[in-house]
A = this chain, B = another copy of it.
Amino acid sequence: MIEKTELQAQIVRAAREVRETNPMAPSITNTVTINFVANAQIAVGGSAAMVYLPDEGEAMAAAGPALYINVGTLLPVYEETLPRTARALAATGKPWVLDPVAVGIGELRTKLLASFKEQKPAIIRGNASEVIALANLWGVAGDGGASQVRGVDSTQAVDEARDAAVALARYTGGAVAVSGVVDLVTDGETVAHSRGGSHFMAEITGSGCSLGGVCAVYAACAETPLAAALTAVNVYNLAGARAEAKVNAPGSFQVAFLDELYRATPEDIAANPFDLEEA
């Protein structure tokens, strides 16, 4: 299990390198929050580029150091785009982030998410219900438990997804981030709990999607998927808490949150409260 001080040093280095090198982390993501994803990626120091077509997904897999796939609002062309992009990513070994939004709803969604088992995303980002459902879909959690996905919302607490998250991370060799009141991030060996954030993050759309996009930005620079995911989760908890201290309604929160993502320093991000335990 990694030491906390070492993980904090990795967080500082990842956040700093992102600010210095402005990595492009292209996305194939849903239309609801696509603007917020791009603005969040830019606010932490990265660059955004979104595509829908199969050969453009492949071009992005070739051009970007890391990529983000979010299956929120599937379009028919995704049936070809997502497998071709995931295969291109797997072929290059580049890290990519999967957000299995609303896993379980619809035939194409299930088929695509099942197929990603082969390409092993470096980071899986979801709410508790989605992480449990994906572990069940992939058959990696002996006792994954029942998932209760309701549209895009979770009806379950983060720690109910602990076993599923650990099992998924062990299977992929990457990291899994489960979003909730206290966020859980694991690489299958270490389990981190990161604190902070704001109730407003569940009262605007796009906190989760944009966190996935920001995971991809950090994955472009971080030493491990765990460090990338925890850097992203920490900056979200930090910015959420700071924004909530300044505003008291969700429209203002959204603006203040982007502002605080932009202001967070690498040292601030590493210092956001989190603790580690054995998986």
**Chain B, Cβ-Cβ closest to A152:** B49
Report chain B residues within 8 Å CB of A76: 53, 76-77
Q: Which residues of B sit under 8 angstroms from A73, Cβ to Cβ? A: 50-52
Residues A56 and B257 in contact, CB atoms below 8 Å apart:
no
In angstroms, how far is the closest chain B Cβ from the Cβ of A29?
9
User: Counting CB contacts under 8 A, is A39 at the interface?
Assistant: yes
Of the listed residues A75, A107, A249, the one surrounded by the most CB atoms of chain B closer than 10 A to its CB is: A249
| Cα–Cα, bound, A34→B152 (Å) | 15
User: Which residues of chain A (234-279) have a CB below 8 Å from chain B?
Assistant: 249-252, 254-260, 262-263
A43/B203 in contact, CB under 8 A: yes
**Is B75 within 8 A of A75, CB to CB?**
yes
Q: In the complex, A278→B250 CA distance in Å? A: 39
Q: Determine if A121 is an interface residue (Cβ-Cβ < 8 Å).
A: no
Closest partner residue, chain B, to A22 (CB atom): B153
Q: Count chain A residues whose beta carbon lies closer than 8 angstroms to a beta carbon of B.
A: 59
Whether the Cβ atoms of B75 and A52 lie closer than 8 Å is yes
Interface digits, A137-171 against B, CB 8 Å rule (1 contact, 0 not)?
Answer: 00000000000001111000000000000000000
Distance of A152 from chain B, by nearest CB (Å): 5
Task: A141 to B158: give the CA distance in the assembly, Å.
Answer: 54
- Of A6-14, A58-66, A90-98, the one with at least 4 CB within 8 A of chain B: A58-66
Q: In the bound complex, what is the Cα–Cα distance between A18 and B38 (angstroms)?
A: 31
**Supplied contacts A49-B102, A49-B153, A203-B262, 8 more A-B pairs, CB within 8 Å:** A39-B250, A42-B250, A52-B74, A59-B106, A60-B105, A249-B263, A251-B256, A254-B258
Could you give 24 example pairs across A and B, Cβ below 8 Å? A24-B150, A24-B151, A39-B204, A43-B203, A43-B251, A47-B151, A47-B152, A48-B152, A49-B151, A49-B153, A50-B72, A52-B75, A53-B74, A53-B76, A55-B106, A55-B108, A59-B105, A60-B105, A249-B258, A250-B258, A251-B254, A251-B257, A251-B258, A255-B255
Chain A contact residues, CB within 8 Å of chain B: 24, 26, 30-36, 38-39, 42-43, 47-53, 55-56, 59-60, 63-64, 72-77, 102, 105-109, 150-153, 203-206, 249-252, 254-260, 262-263
